[in-house]
Structure 1
Amino acid sequence: MRGNDDAILACRNVAVRYGDVTALDDVSIAFPRGMIHAVVGQNGAGKTTFARVVSGLVRPDQGAVEIGGKLIAGGNVNDARRAGVELVHQSFALPPSFTVAEAMQFGAAGGALYTRAALERRWQAHLDALDVKVSAGARIRTLTVEQQQAVEIARALVTDARLLILDEPTAVLSPEGAKKLFERVRRLKERGVTVLLILHKIREVLAIADTVSVLRGGRLIDGPLPASDIDADALASLIIGPSAKMLAGEDRAALTGAAAPRGAETETGPIAGPPVVSLRGVSTRPDADGPALQAVDFVVQPGEIVGIAGVEGNGQRTLVRAISSLADIAEGSLELAGRDVTNATLSQRRAAGLRVIPFERNVEGLSLTSPLWENWSAGQLLARPLLAAISPSALRRECKSALDAWDVRYAEVGQPAGSLSGGNAQKVILSREMDESGKLIIAAQPTRGLDIGATAFVWDALRKARDGGCGVIFVSSDLDEVFDLADRVVVMLSGRIVAEFRPPFDLTRVGAAMTGARA
């Protein structure tokens, strides 16, 4: 273990095993106090397991953990919290029906009784002190993603945490939201809180961290290294290992943030002929997933990737739902591959060539408790007549063939989908949705929460589909990613398409369109 006289956290020979799988392998590391530390690595590298060990959620099979020089019992959340450790998970845990004050009180110690007004006054003062601009009386379900995360962090600091762990905190944030988060993290550091960030994006690591530690395959590869002493390319090599050289030069630069993003470049460009999707004057009824579409005109040609940019919650989800038959079209028309499908069912739209990589792979894309072969077979079954004979053994064989072709790392097709890493889970969806009969692929946040290797894999798959004549609608809150992948970018604001851009893309102009400002 490196020198730990002034360490807030020190781990010695920590190992965690799940059957034959070693999640952490003999990890020894110490983190100095009062700094912002980043722990990075690919999906399955052991980052989240490490955070869960430190926070008391997982008991290590070997080794010891010290917080502030005091040995803490493994697998005991209360001991870790008493030592000053708080963990904010990637998936928020605030009850949607609670008010902010109720959620804060729920996580606080002590059983004092309060009137509702007193409770809101108490927690409003706490929120104000942390510069969290949220009303304590607001319902959690009414908050934006950024506001929910800010409340999660505020709740974690109720106990005067000395070590705050944020697991993939930017995975659900827009670029502006990530910027605000980092401002909040820096203020916490000024207050004396040590922050441990589990991150994927290299440019974010180098923008916020004082030190960087790299895990690969459960082992500590290096760290904590001063972030000022390492560049993006060297960090990518540490994270990916020998396979780093397989990344294309342009993608490597874009994924690491080492070069300014560009517009996608193709030799052929969009294919002439009927569009793969055409929306004419489409308006939808309001629903819970965002503002209704308002007179949207939108076309995607075969052989092009159209990026959808916009601050989250401005109609991107509604657009995807409308094309996928999950949001009713009140006015206008929708055509897929030349067929009017305005009132068609999802199975009919899939028969016309629609394929969808959904926003939430663990909610909309996969049944985590169901076996891999059943998840993969869902697309096959939708294409078959209702009374057609089904052979589970044949579907298992077909699933195995598809998963192997897409380089999914799995043990057997009967294992639950929830046992896979994020990158491999996304590959299962890709193997199901990206077949030869697809004409339009909707890729909604397809790389959210993925490491740079898995992200490059998804980008390559979408480009190959585009080059094969598919049209692709690419929705992402990461403008760098949109600029790098898209042939054309449209901006959504309050349920309308308000601007369209072609390469070279101008961040200032696109950002101004996203916020309704003039540029």
Structure 2
Amino acid sequence: MLLQLEKITKRFGNLTANDQLDFTLAEGEVHALIGENGAGKSTLMRILYGEETPTSGRILLNGRELKLDSPKDAIAAGIGMVHQHFMLFPEFTVAENIVIGREPKAGLVFDRKAAAAEVKALSDKYGMPVDPWQTMGDCPVGIQQRVEILKVLGQGAKIVILDEPTGALTPLEVEWLLKAIKGLAQQGISFILISHKLQEVIHAADRITVLRDGRVTGVMEAKDTNEEELSRLMVGRELQRRNKQAVEPGEGILDVQNVTIQGGKGAKPLLDRVHFQVHAGEIVGIAGVSGNGQSELIQAIAGLRRIDQGRIMVNGTDVTNALPLQVRNAGLAHIPEDRYSWGSSKEESVADNGIMGHLPTHSRSGLLREGKIRETVSRFIDTFKVKTGSLETKAKHLSGGNMQKLIVAREMAHGTPFVIAAEPTRGVDIGAMEIIHEALLQRRREMGAVLLVSSELTEILQLSDRILVMFEGRIAGELTAQEATEERISILMAGGTIHEAG
């Protein structure tokens, strides 16, 4: 066996993140590691990558015990990691990003031609085409990921940890990546694949290890399992099927009228005459490759970015270029696409984060009502199954998925007629996804209007009554739930026309 993690235990004070975990990896194997948020996956991989030291247990590579005190030690041992959020320099070229830290020199000067040649050879060897001279900031997400993988392979990695590798990719990019992983495995590279997407895991992996509450609940061959069994091992119960009842849409709640946001000098508009409505009792999905105007649209509606032309109405109130508080008062709740930049304060407590936006109803004569705050946030935690040590725990100590559940609970509790749900289940496990989806469907049943912006086509297809596809700042097409398929949406996302989909 190439790699063995034996009886790994990691404690943080009273919290046991990993409890006597065993994990093995063979040469040329793709081994998936799955589990709910907070199950211990990230901690285990941080230990393997030298970012954490285990409380007890040991790591064996080719039968010899490894001591990993830093990522530098891991890289030296042939272990590389591609993080969920890429660590690239957008102003550098592809070649410069790949050879950084081991740059070829011509005398004392960085030899760019040699770097480009090295990257071209690396790219050809592993069947991952890239343009060495292209500026990183101009590369689509799929190419950025290839660069990250080539970077760790160029460092000599024989074991590659992929953390949520398909989170921001289009369906075609996902298909390409999974084929590439299998091809690299045939060349002897071993992969540890961390993912919440069970269908992809079954398709890509040779073996699957399931974690729950820091312990292994199952290890199986991918060909011998299915999504239902994996879900049950992850969450400890059968998941409920969501009932998307028929609802007759009501009056228009969001009205976006020919909204335009100009780009820089000589650049295309960030938003180009975007026009649509969302009605009461309706979920409208926005699909598109990241960077095609979705973020600017959300920010414009929420009052976080000014528009140059057009008009935005929320619940009958003109909120064009209004302040965020004014938009909120008009009837908006906002689950933001970046839970840390826009949705929380990592240094504050779970209670403080949970009560954001609810303070007027939780204070008297300017003084906070601590008892009522604790009662409200505790209800959020119970309803959405947020795993936290206490209400005083700092938000930065929550896993990303648990932070997301807290934000969704907080925003849905406003009971507003309109909700922006931007990437509501990014980085959350299948159990949390079930809870969040049910909350959005419940708001729809209550005749609320939901604008769902997601890079997950499965999510868009499951929840949406209508789907708008964005491409280069425009609405490239609109599909009803009955018309929509992954193929049709993918063609529109790439700038094609729906006629090409058949």
Q: TM-score, normalised by structure 2?
A: 0.91
SS in 2 for 1:320: helix
**Equivalent residue number for residue 208 of structure 2:** 212
Separation in structure 2 between the aligned mates of residue 291 and residue 462 of structure 1, nearest angstrom: 31
User: Which residue number in structure 2 is paired with residue 461 of structure 1?
Assistant: 439
The question of whether the paired residues in 2 share the 8 Å contact of 1:56 and 1:76 is answered with yes
Moved more, 67-76 or 350-359: 67-76
Q: Which residue among 342, 349, 352 is the counterpart of 2:327?
A: 349
Q: Which amino acid aligns with 2:272?
A: Q
| Deviation digits for residues 5-58 of structure 1 (CA, Å, limit 9, x no counterpart) | xx1111211111111111111112322221111111111111111112222222
Instruction: Give the residue type in structure 2 aligned to 1:39.
Output: L
What is the CA distance between 1:76 and its match in structure 2?
4.0
Q: What secondary structure does 1:295 align onto?
A: strand
For residues 217-267 of structure 1, what are the alpha-carbon distances to aligned partners after superposition, in whole Å with 9 as ceiling and x for unaligned? 1111222x21111122222222222x2x2x223x4xxxxxxxxxxxx8423
What is the CA–CA distance in structure 2 between the aligned matches of 1:495 and 1:403, rounded to whole Å?
Answer: 37
Q: Deviations over 1:277-309 (max 9, x none)?
A: 001121122279995221121100011111112
CA distance in 2, matches of 1:221, 1:402: 28
Deviates more, 1:344-353 or 1:50-59: 50-59
- Seen in structure 2, the aligned counterparts of structure 1 residues 287 and 446 have a Cα distance that, compared at 3 Å, is farther
What residue in structure 1 maps to residue 409 of structure 2? 431
**Aligned counterpart for 2:67 among listed residues 60, 70, 73:** 73
Query: In the aligned structure 2, how far is the partner of 1:334 from the partner of 1:21?
Result: 47
Aligned to 1:281: 258
1:153 matched residue in structure 2: 149
SS at match of 1:176: helix
Matched, 1:61 2:64: no
Q: Which residue of 1 aligns with 2:392?
A: 414
Q: Does 1:141 align with 2:119?
A: no
Provide the secondary structure at the position in 1 that maps to 2:357. helix
Closer, same or farther: CA 405–222 of 1 in aligned 2, 3 Å: closer
Q: Give me the whole-angstrom Cα distance separating, in 1, the residues matched to 2:406 and 2:191.
A: 34
1:166 to 162, 170, 173: 162
Per-residue CA distance 1:103-134 (angstroms, 9 max, x = gap):
22324388874234443343344334434443
CA distance 1:79–1:407, shift in 2 (3 Å): closer
**Structure 1 portions without partners, runs of 5+:** 1-6, 252-263
* Structure 1 position 513 matched with structure 2 position 492: yes
Q: Do the aligned residues in 2 keep the contact of 1:98 with 1:140 (CA within 8 Å)?
A: yes
What secondary structure does 1:164 align onto? Answer: strand
Partner of 2:308: 330
Separation in structure 2 between the aligned mates of residue 292 and residue 50 of structure 1, nearest angstrom: 41
Q: Could you give the per-residue CA deviations for residues 346-367 of structure 1, whole angstroms, max 9, x where no partner exists?
A: 1100000111111111222222
1:73-117 residue CA offsets vs partner (Å, 9 max, x unmatched): 143433332321111111222233433333223243888742344
1:393 matched to 2:370:
yes
Paired residues of 1:351 and 1:383 also in contact (CA < 8 A): no
- The residue identity in structure 1 corresponding to 2:279 is Q
Code of the aligned partner of 2:489: V
Q: Compare 349-358 and 78-87 and name the one that shifted more.
A: 78-87
Q: Compared with structure 1, are the counterparts of its residues 509 and 89 closer, same or farther at alpha carbon in structure 2 (3 Å cutoff)? A: closer
After TM superposition, give the deviation of residue 319 of structure 1 in Å.
Answer: 1.4
Whole-angstrom distance in 2 between the partners of 1:401 and 1:451: 21
Assess if the C-alpha contact under 8 Å between 2:465 and 2:480 holds in 1: yes
Q: Would the aligned equivalents of 2:359 and 2:368 in 1 still touch at CA under 8 Å? A: no
Q: Percent identity?
A: 35
Out of 8, 13, 21, which is 2:7 matched to?
Answer: 13
CA offset at residue 449 of structure 1? 1.2
The question of 1:47 aligning with 2:41 is answered: yes
Paired residue secondary structure (2:342): helix
Q: Structure 1's 302 and 383: CA in aligned 2 closer, same or farther, altered over 3 A?
A: farther
Distance of aligned partners of 1:384 and 1:20 in 2 relative to their CA distance in 1, 3 Å threshold: closer
1:226 aligns with 2:221: yes
Contact (CA 8 Å) 2:103, 2:110: kept in 1 or not? no
Could you list the runs of 5+ residues in structure 2 that have no partner in the other structure?
Answer: none
The amino acid of 2:240's aligned partner reads A
Q: Which residue of 2 aligns with 1:261?
A: none
2:195 paired residue number = 199
Q: How does 1:219-368 map to 2 (within 5 A)?
A: 219-223=215-219, 225-241=220-236, 243=237, 245=238, 247-249=239-241, 251=242, 265-271=244-250, 273=251, 275-286=252-263, 292-368=270-346
- 400-409 vs 366-375, greater mean Cα deviation: 400-409
Paired residue secondary structure (1:45) = coil
CA distance in 2, matches of 1:455, 1:139: 36
Q: Which residue of 2 aligns with 1:491?
A: 469
Distance in structure 2 (CA, Å) of the matches to 1:240 and 1:299: 37
Equivalenced residues, count: 493
**1:478 counterpart = 2:456:** yes
Do the aligned partners of residues 29 and 340 (structure 1) sit closer, same or farther apart at CA in structure 2, a change above 3 Å counting?
closer
Report if the CA contact (8 A) 1:87-1:164 is conserved.
yes
- Which moves more between the two structures, 398-407 or 196-205? 398-407
In structure 2, the CA distance between the partners of 1:418 and 1:438, relative to structure 1 (3 Å rule), is: same
Give the Cα–Cα distance (whole angstroms) in 1 for the partners of residues 269 and 171 of structure 2.
Answer: 21
**Which one-letter code corresponds to 1:509 in the other structure?**
R
How much does 1:66 deviate? Answer: 0.6
Paired position in structure 2 for 1:259 = none
Q: Find the aligned partners of 1:135 and 1:364 in 2 and give their Cα distance.
A: 34
Contact 1:302 1:439 in 2 (8 A): yes
Map of 2:122 onto structure 1: 126
Q: Report if aligned partners of 2:104, 2:111 keep a CA contact under 8 Å in 1.
A: no
User: What is the alpha-carbon distance in structure 1 between the residues aligned to residue 379 and residue 233 of structure 2?
Assistant: 32
Contact 1:85/1:164 (8 A) holds in 2: yes
Would you say the 8 A contact 2:169–2:289 is kept in 1? no
Letter in 2 for 1:471: A
From the superposition, tell whether residues 456 and 164 of structure 1 become closer, same or farther in structure 2 (CA, over 3 Å): same
Mapped to 2, the partners of 1:207 and 1:81 lie a distance apart of 28
Inter-partner Cα distance in structure 1 for 2:368 and 2:451: 34
More divergent stretch after superposition (298-307 vs 229-238): 229-238
2:283, 2:444 within 8 Å by CA — same for their partners in 1? Answer: yes
Measured at CA, do residues 402 and 235 of structure 1 come closer, stay the same or move farther in structure 2, by a change above 3 Å?
closer
Q: Secondary structure at the match of 1:513?
A: helix
- Name 1:105's counterpart in structure 2: 99
Q: Sort the Cα spacing of 1:206 and 1:61 in 2 relative to 1 into closer, same or farther, 3 A.
A: same
| 1:370 has 2:348 as partner | yes
User: Does the 8 A contact of 1:290 with 1:314 survive in 2?
Assistant: no
**Is 1:441 aligned with 2:419?**
yes
Equivalent in the alignment of 2:176: 180
Deviation at 1:457, TM superposition (A): 0.8
